[in-house]
Amino acid sequence: MNQHERIHWLRAELEKHNHLYYIEDKPEISDYEFDQLMQELIDMEEKNPSLADVNSPSVRVGGGVTKNFETIVHEHRMYSLSNSYSFEDLQDWENRIEKIIDAKPTYVCELKYDGASISLTYINGELKQAVTRGDGIQGDDVTNNIRTIKTVPLKLKGDNYPQKFHIRGEIILPYEGFAAINEERIQNGEEPYANPRNTASGTLKLQDSAAVAKRPLECFLYAIAGDNLGIETQFDNLEKAREWGFKVPEESKLCKSLNEVKAYVDYWNEHRHHLPYETDGVVVKVNQISHQEELGYTAKSPRWAMAYKFKAEQASTKLEAITYQVGRTGAITPVANLSPVQLAGTTVKRASLHNADQIAKLDIRVDDMVFVEKGGEIIPKIVGVDFTQRTIFSEPTQYITNCPECGTALERKEGEAQHYCPNTATCPPQVAGRIQHFISRKAMDIEGLGGETVQQLVKAELITNYADLYELKVEDLLPLERMAEKSATNLVEGVAKSVEVPFERVLFALGIRYVGETVAKKLAKAFKNIDNIIAATFEELVATDEIGDKIAESIHLFFAEETNIELVNRLKSYGLQFSLSEEELANATDLLEGKTFVISGVFQKVSRDELKKFIETNGGKNTSSISKKTNYLVAGENMGPSKLTKAESLGVKIISEDEFLAMID
């Protein structure tokens, strides 16, 4: 078997095992064996770039970066659904249907998954494009990110599929995966996400597909759209999709009457809490495609489908106390402490009250009987007060005026909903929160040090800021609870090793408000070292790519604090990286300053990632989609015809790999 044959065999084998594992739940090989095959494929593809395939199983590990998501018009509009909240609503709907089609319809019932809607386009059995729902008429091209999702087939099974079709589905994040993500965020000192739905939706718009690949998203498919598909019923739609390799939940059911629909709705209204993912209702569809075509659409919705929404589960319980939490940035969050109550399958003891305005709006008071719902089935929230049970001795809630942790008078800036504790220097939760951010995986990533240990160190007064970490000794740590000599040694060594972390991550680790990973990279590239950033004027900061007024003001305020300058100077003395490496500086030029590039196709001399790095190193800007602002399209082999057509129509200069390399020679 030559290399070409081996690559094709590996791709087919990996796709087979991926389907067995994620779709059929019938794995035939171990995770280790799968990983070995995947690594072999990645290595062989790197050595044979001419054999690149955008739908190779290797793309599931991610790595492509999308700076701007191109807006795509849907060939077949993605309509929203009309909602019903009672069986009477469904009966009225059926009456309207029967008048139009002059027949008794059958139905398909499907659970309404609570996630992010997506439209996938397949041509000749291969995934070509993935577009978010957007406003239903157009959405964002998130193809690179969707390719990382294991339950989205890159190539279809069999050969009886249409030459071109669109399939619609929902990108969801199962509860287990959501909990794991939040656990990691909490350990890293980051705010946990509110619910799986918003997290799934936000993940689709992450710029780095490698970050998307690390999140356990799934895709449930429920509808096929296209021309002359030859499919007669919605139930056949689902069966065909399963045959082609899509994940279609088994909970879908063909119902011959509205009474069967009601039985389905009643069953899942009770049993939905046992599912591993969020669902907020049932979608009822007329089964016969010919009937669907006859019924047509209103301006917003198909007349042949109706969403039956489950009523949000609500419980009444006593508000025993209101406490206040202090976040890393000093933001104060009021929390309702409740008498334990069962709600949506879990015991609820606490609920967020958001801010002072929310408390005043609902007139929430201690000892009130309050109504609690689960927003998005995850976060409990108080939606009202049972005023009939309020006593005459009840007193309005007085929002705290001082920090519950350090006693400092709280501040509330004009236009902001939350109060803040301004004592950033010594307020314990803020101190611990900043250190936890500093050591987090995407910042300094210090091995052997986690959030719980940080709390111990702060409580024991061994550290009061992140610079103190670099003065810790093994003997300082040994008196701490559950701290053996080996773990203490690992922690100290992990701190020492972190001095190798590159400048942009150190900058992110400092915890400047609004300076996330991407902004830190932009600043590092633009200013080369920390001293230039500190000395930069407001105008110079705003002139930097993707740096707005709010970020620039935050940077200025941070370095205006003498304590922060002292921290930076201490970190410098410990050897942390506060400038770009000599290699990065040596290769940096302004040859491409002000030029915007789009890279498309397969290249022979250098990889796509190398081309992107050359562009950035020489002062240029990479984008994924062609627009009037694009200066050059670097065209490789097998480039998509749509990009070429768009470049030509906009007058964008098209250059080859050799021509680009000559530009920076």
Alpha carbon distance 82, 295 (integer Å): 14
| Nearest residue to 159 (alpha-carbon basis) of 126, 128, 129 | 126
Kindly report the number of other CB atoms within 10 A of residue 656's CB atom: 13
Distances (CA, A) of 334 to 266, 383, 404, 499: 37, 15, 11, 38
* Residue 615 contacts residue 592 (beta carbons within 8 Å): yes
For 522-545, give the DSSP string: HHHHHHSBHHHHHH--HHHHHTST
Burial of 487 from C-beta contacts in 10 A (0-12 / 13-18 / 19+): middle
* Residue 278 contacts residue 310 (beta carbons within 8 Å): no
Alpha carbon distance 264, 64 (integer Å): 43
* Residue 231 contacts residue 237 (beta carbons within 8 Å): yes
Distances (CA, A) of 164 to 60, 77, 199: 23, 16, 31
| Nearest residue to 534 (alpha-carbon basis) of 551, 550, 555 | 555
* Pairing mode, strands 332-343 and 346-352: antiparallel
* Residue 147 contacts residue 212 (beta carbons within 8 Å): no
| Nearest residue to 615 (alpha-carbon basis) of 640, 644, 585, 595 | 595
Catalytic residue among 16, 67, 99, 112: 112
Distances (CA, A) of 490 to 170, 573, 574, 579: 44, 22, 18, 27
- Residues ≥6 apart with Cβ < 8 Å to 374: 312, 313, 343, 344, 348, 380, 381
**Cα 575 to the center of its chain, rounded Å:** 34
* Residue 589 contacts residue 613 (beta carbons within 8 Å): no
Q: Which two tokens stand for residue 589?
A: 């030029």
> What's the DSSP call for residue 228?
S
Q: Tell me if residue 112 is catalytic.
A: yes
* Residue 437 contacts residue 446 (beta carbons within 8 Å): no
**Cα 507 to the center of its chain, rounded Å:** 23
- Give the catalytic positions in this structure: 112
